[in-house]
Structure 1
Amino acid sequence: MPPPAVLRKRHTLTGKDIFPLIKRVRGAEGPAGPLARLKMNAPTETMTISEMKTAFRELSGESLEECLQMVGDTANIEEGMKKLLHYAIIYANEVGQPDGQDISQDEQQVGEPQAKKQKKEHALEKRIEELEQSKRNEGEEELKSLKAKDFEIEIPEWEKCDSFDPEKSVLEKRGHPTWITLKESDSKPAVHNFTGKSIDLFGIDERLNDLKSREEESKQTKRRKSLEVRFKKFLLALPHTPTIMSVTPKDICRFLVWNDKLGKTQIHGMSCPHIGEFGIHRCGCAIRLAAGTVHGMVQSLSEILCRHGRGRSWDVGTCSGNPCMSPEVQSYQKSCKDEQAKSRILPKQA
Structure 2
Amino acid sequence: MMSIERGKIPMESQTSTQPSMGEDPSSQHTPSRYESQKRRDWNTFVQFLKNQRPPVPLSSCTGVHVLNFLRYLDQFGKTKVHALGCVFYGHPEPLGPCSCPLRQAWGSLDALVGRLRAAYEENGGTQESNPLAGSVIRVYLREVKEKQAKARGIPYKKKMKSKKKVGSPS
TM-score bracket, shorter-length normalisation = 0.5 to 0.7
Which residue in the other structure is 1:340 paired with? 148
Q: Which of 56, 73, 76 is 1:259 aligned to?
A: 73
CA RMSD of aligned residues (A): 2.7
How big is each residue's C-alpha offset from its partner over 1:207-265, in whole Å with a ceiling of 9 and x where there is no partner?
Answer: 59x89x64743111111111122112211110121133321111111100100122111
Contact 1:259 1:289 in 2 (8 A): yes
Question: Where do 1:111-150 residues align within 5 Å?
Answer: none
Between the aligned partners of 1:214 and 1:252, the Cα distance in structure 2 is 33
> Is the alpha carbon distance of 1:258 and 1:270 closer, same or farther for their aligned partners in structure 2, counting shifts above 3 Å?
closer
Which residue in the other structure is 2:18 paired with? 206
Stretches of 4+ aligned residues off by more than 3 angstroms: 213-216
- Are positions 1:294 and 2:109 aligned together? yes
Between the aligned partners of 1:301 and 1:341, the Cα distance in structure 2 is 24
TM-score normalised by length of structure 1: 0.35
Q: Which of 12, 32, 50 is 1:218 aligned to?
A: 32
Which residue in the other structure is 1:119 paired with? none
> Is the alpha carbon distance of 1:278 and 1:298 closer, same or farther for their aligned partners in structure 2, counting shifts above 3 Å?
farther
Q: What stretches of structure 1 of length at least 5 have no aligned partner? A: 1-203, 314-320
Matched AA of 2:132: C
Between the aligned partners of 2:150 and 2:97, the Cα distance in structure 1 is 20
Question: Where do 1:1-350 residues align within 5 Å?
Answer: 205-207=17-19, 214=28, 216-275=30-89, 276-277=91-92, 282-313=97-128, 321-344=129-152, 346=154
Between the aligned partners of 2:83 and 2:75, the Cα distance in structure 1 is 19
**3-state SS of paired residue (2:41):** helix
CA drift at 1:330: 1.0
Between the aligned partners of 1:324 and 1:216, the Cα distance in structure 2 is 27
Q: What stretches of structure 2 of length at least 5 have no aligned partner? A: 1-15, 156-170
TM-score normalised by length of structure 2: 0.67
Between the aligned partners of 1:306 and 1:266, the Cα distance in structure 2 is 33
Between the aligned partners of 1:282 and 1:235, the Cα distance in structure 2 is 36
**3-state SS of paired residue (1:263):** coil
Which residue in the other structure is 1:112 paired with? none
Contact 2:92 2:154 in 1 (8 A): no
Which residue in the other structure is 2:161 paired with? none
> Is the alpha carbon distance of 1:266 and 1:225 closer, same or farther for their aligned partners in structure 2, counting shifts above 3 Å?
same
CA drift at 1:342: 1.5
> Is the alpha carbon distance of 1:216 and 1:323 closer, same or farther for their aligned partners in structure 2, counting shifts above 3 Å?
farther
> Is the alpha carbon distance of 1:216 and 1:253 closer, same or farther for their aligned partners in structure 2, counting shifts above 3 Å?
farther
Q: Percent of counterpart pairs with the same letter?
A: 24
Between the aligned partners of 1:265 and 1:274, the Cα distance in structure 2 is 14
Choose between structure 1 and 2 for higher RCO, CA contacts under 8 A separated by at least 6 residues: 2
